[in-house]
Structure 1
Amino acid sequence: MTSLIAVEKQKLENPPLKLHYLGDRVLRQPAKRIAKVDDSVRKLVKEMLQTMYSSNGIGLAAPQVGVNKQLIVIDCEPDEPAKLPLVLINPVISGYSKTLCKGEEGCLSIPGVYLDVIRPEAIEVSFKDEQGRPRKIQANNLLARVIQHEMDHLNGVMFVDRVDNDLALTAELQKHGFSVNAVKPVA
């Protein structure tokens, strides 16, 4: 169920891909489905993982590195070399739990900003792995949160769009030099 793409979980001085930040138009565009899982997709997966580890992240969506494709890499245990990352290509959530939970989220595209977001506690998600094989998993707690957070990126949504505490949101964004005008609240 986990990635066969071997990447050392280490910080690179010059990660292969450049992160885009809140306010950048590329983060607001819906990502396109990947028609064929081939070596170019696997190369992108490897570079995304290297970039994610270099930035102390546990999830990264292709739009965050300026690539308009439905591709996500996740590793909720970056300090465990034996735990392989999860690669989700063209992910679709097919079920949500009725139980909602509040949890703190951050984002590599909004460094330094951490705020509470309410999301379903568990999900079922279908996707293709890096070999193009169809997969389906049940995820809960942190993994469910990370998948939902990264899938939002594929739809041009950022976690700050889901924050309901406007005062905290404004204060945090301003403290870290981001414009509140870059937030697009979701209904």
Structure 2
Amino acid sequence: MPATSSDPVPTLQLASPTSAAWIEQAIRHLDLILLDHANCEKKAAGNALSLLFRYPANGRLVEALSPLAREELQHFERVHRHLQRLGIPIRPLSAAPYASRLNQHLRRSEPEHLLDALLVAAIIEARSHERLGLLGIHVPDPELRQFYLWLAAAEERHWQLYLDLALEQFPAEPVQERLDGLLQVEAEILSTLHPEPRVHS
């Protein structure tokens, strides 16, 4: 059963902050970060759609994730415009192992898989919120700074949406317990800086 008003409200707090080394790497290779960011927005839209395909009878997911997928594609379009403005050629990039390693921890059976999928999506959005906010502080280009500060606020809404969806369908205590475990996994994945600059490296 979903969380009730008497349950303590689960919170999502990243288990480790982004390192200064990632900030330095990102600023040195801003072209790669922008290219990867464009890919991330497409993947975020795809993730929302994949949940709709997997759970087509879940009306709450349809109501929440269909507009989210559209918004993620709008963000992709805005990143793409910055790539064009800065003259950064579009080219394919290999993905960092971040998301695939997180997804290895999704349980296969239902309803546990749905809970894990919502919480992993929330964690990815929360890390995006943190890192895009850091880019909004540190990137040298004024237009990009403004864009990333604006976008960080959207990412905060997104992680809260995924967490809210989990709480609407599962009791608060197991949500918090599972979330805490996945947050530790996420921190371990990011404990070593990936050599290829990526948003989630």
Is TM-score (shorter-chain normalized) higher than 0.5?
A: no
More helix by share: 2
Instruction: Report the TM-score, using the length of structure 1 for normalisation.
Output: 0.29
Larger Rg belongs to: 2
Instruction: Report the TM-score, using the length of structure 2 for normalisation.
Output: 0.28
More strand by share: 1
- Does 1 or 2 have the higher relative contact order (CA < 8 Å, sep 6+)? 2
